[in-house]
Amino acid sequence: MNHIKIDPERQIGSISRKIFGGFAEHLGRHIYGGIYEPGSPLADENGFRSDVLAAVRRLKMPVVRYPGGNFVSGYRWRDGVGPKEQRPARVELAWQDIESNHFGTDEFVTWCRALGTEPYLVVNAGDGDMREARDWVEYCNSATDSALANMRRANGFDAPHNVKYWGIGNEVDGQWQIGYKTPEEYARTYKEFAKVMRWVDPSIRLIASATTDWRYQPVERTQLLFEGAPDLLDYLAIHWYVGNHEDDFAQYMTLSEFFEARLSALEGAIAAMRHEMGVERPVHIAVDEWNVWYRARGNTREERDNLEERYNLEDALVVAMHFNAFIRHCRSVRMANIAQIVNVIAPIFTDEEGLFLQTIFHPFELYASNCGDIALDVFWKGDTFSGGDYSGVRTLDVSATIDAAGKKLSLFVVNRSLTETLETRISLSDATFAGNVAASVVNGPDIKAENSFEAPNRVTVTNVAIMAKGSEFVYAFEPHSVTALVFDL
């Protein structure tokens, strides 16, 4: 029998709710036809799709990154503010499109406020300059009588938007980026942009683009950023996208080991540089683009199908494994943004008449709704499997959290077995189960099961109330499932 041991006093640290962040880019049908569709019977008075708003609200995203992504490296924010009929349409190079600019800063912030989420803006460090970047901070956050603050007021926003999170550039390490930068070029750009942006608003939190998928000199980039701007770094951003490229389920399920390796490596680089530079305040990791993405790729727009990836159950298991890793690394990962939210590599999929929830929506909602305040250091052992380069990987992938009052314990378990129900003894040290257990299970008929407009619930969540008393409890985890058990202690 498998065994999970939990001691509520073995705490890793507090969890930042910002690990449940999202990312919205001007790309395909994400903004237009996803978030924003004026004239649609489903749109509210702002032109926002209300069915989409209601679905996103269920994900409880505390922060949303915008407007890109690759898009931002050619973006001019001024095009997207003011009267819509005067906004210029531009050729958009990153995704080869025409950008109408009918949705911009003010619409995005209004959408975020309707959701109860913090906006996180990324400035253009591709073909944009530092004046444009600091002007954007002033437009958004200044309460003075300056021309830019008055421009915001004239656009209908008297109070400052108070945008707290600002990224400087996107994937600057990639040749596919407009305005690619060498490690030296970016470190210098970062320092100068960050300096003037902070001079405009000293309260903002800054995110540096450190590495895309751990390629292109990530350690050197981290080192140069610390050496150039040790006091201007709040987060280092890393991106990754994963997929079952070889249609090998076991190999796909070993991604937990890859997440561990990746996060530990970046934690190590940050720790080494903080030590070397004498930086006492923490510098966090923002995994500010992550998801499964591999099918809807290609070089032309048609091949890419505008990145409208369709997800199955095995992808949902991988999304859950991401959250287990972020919870286990809660001391360093203080922000993570699933890329993206609607239609484009996304948990929500729309057409003109409505939407359906993709498989990956369900683990996201499960974790965001049940995650406690503090991560616990769980011990678990039992069945193992081999896949790809790994052997002896535990079949269950586990994380646990507790609320600040120490009364609610949430246990998250991904059973990566294709066929086996895994009976598991869950034992508590120095605490007892008080009775109620809410069990929620994400599962479907088989690992390739997808949701669609025709069959929206092939992969869904089942909720059951059960009981647990004393300090031991046995639960049978279904094959290829994600389970959240929420115990009263």
Angle of CA points 290, 296, 297, to nearest 5°: 85
Sign, Cα dihedral of 303, 306, 312, 318: positive
The DSSP code for 308 is: -
Cis peptide before 67 (omega within 30 of 0): yes
List the one residue from 142, 170, 254, 483 that touches ligand AHR (CB under 6 A). 170
Active site residue 280: no
> Taking CB under 6 A as the rule, which mask of x and - marks residues 1-40 in contact with ligand AHR?
------------------------x---------------
CA pair distance 451, 55, nearest whole angstrom:
15
Q: Dihedral through CA 27, CA 32, CA 35, CA 41, nearest 10?
A: -160
List the one residue from 171, 288, 314, 315 that touches ligand AHR (CB under 6 A). 171
Q: For ligand AHR, which stretch binds (CB under 6 A), given 67-75, 123-131, 412-420, 432-440?
A: 67-75
Joined together, the tokens standing for residue 457 give 């619930």
CB 357 within 8 A of CB 55: yes
Residue nearest to ligand AHR (CB): 69
Residue 172 or 442: the one with the smaller Cβ distance to ligand AHR is: 172
C-alpha distance from residue 224 to each of 191, 194, 210, 221, 336 (Å): 10, 14, 10, 5, 23
Q: For ligand AHR, which stretch binds (CB under 6 A), given 45-53, 66-74, 97-105, 260-268?
A: 66-74
CB 122 within 8 A of CB 66: yes
List the one residue from 81, 339, 357, 422 that touches ligand AHR (CB under 6 A). 339
182 Rama class: left (phi>0) / alpha (psi -120 to 50) / beta: beta
List the one residue from 33, 69, 74, 363 that touches ligand AHR (CB under 6 A). 69
Residue 19 or 27: the one with the smaller Cβ distance to ligand AHR is: 27
> What is the residue-wise DSSP string for 409-457?
EEEEEEE--SS--EEEEEEESS--EEEEEEEEEEE-SSTT-B--SSSTT
If one counts every other C-beta atom within 10 angstroms of the C-beta of residue 326, the result is 28
Residue 289 touching ligand AHR (CB under 6 A): yes
Active site residue 314: no
* Least distance between ligand AHR and beta carbon 125 (Å): 13
Residue 172 or 270: the one with the smaller Cβ distance to ligand AHR is: 172
The DSSP code for 41 is: T
Residue 370: which residues within 8 A CB-CB, separation 6 or more? 410, 412, 440, 484, 486
Q: For ligand AHR, which stretch binds (CB under 6 A), given 8-16, 65-73, 132-140, 350-358?
A: 65-73
The DSSP code for 268 is: H
Joined together, the tokens standing for residue 478 give 């279904």
CB 412 within 8 A of CB 381: no
If one counts every other C-beta atom within 10 angstroms of the C-beta of residue 487, the result is 26
Residue 107 touching ligand AHR (CB under 6 A): no
47 Rama class: left (phi>0) / alpha (psi -120 to 50) / beta: left
Q: For ligand AHR, which stretch binds (CB under 6 A), given 62-70, 178-186, 225-233, 274-282?
A: 62-70
Residue 47 touching ligand AHR (CB under 6 A): no
* Least distance between ligand AHR and beta carbon 397 (Å): 25
Residue of 25, 289, 314, 365 with catalytic role: 289
* CA nearest neighbour of 87 among 97, 96, 95, 77: 77
* Least distance between ligand AHR and beta carbon 288 (Å): 9
Interface with ligand AHR (CB under 6 A), residue total: 9
Residue 339 or 376: the one with the smaller Cβ distance to ligand AHR is: 339
Residue 173 touching ligand AHR (CB under 6 A): no
CA pair distance 84, 48, nearest whole angstrom:
15
List the one residue from 16, 70, 124, 410 that touches ligand AHR (CB under 6 A). 70
Residue 415 touching ligand AHR (CB under 6 A): no
Residue 4 or 61: the one with the smaller Cβ distance to ligand AHR is: 61
Residue 68 touching ligand AHR (CB under 6 A): yes
What is the CA 59 to chain-centroid distance, rounded?
11
Residue 365 touching ligand AHR (CB under 6 A): no
CA pair distance 361, 348, nearest whole angstrom:
7
Residue 177 or 415: the one with the smaller Cβ distance to ligand AHR is: 177
Residue of 25, 107, 171, 314 with catalytic role: 171
Residue 201 or 309: the one with the smaller Cβ distance to ligand AHR is: 309
Residue 84 or 304: the one with the smaller Cβ distance to ligand AHR is: 304
- Which residues here bind ligand AHR, judged by CB under 6 A? 25, 68-70, 170-171, 289, 339-340
The catalytic site residues sit at: 171, 289
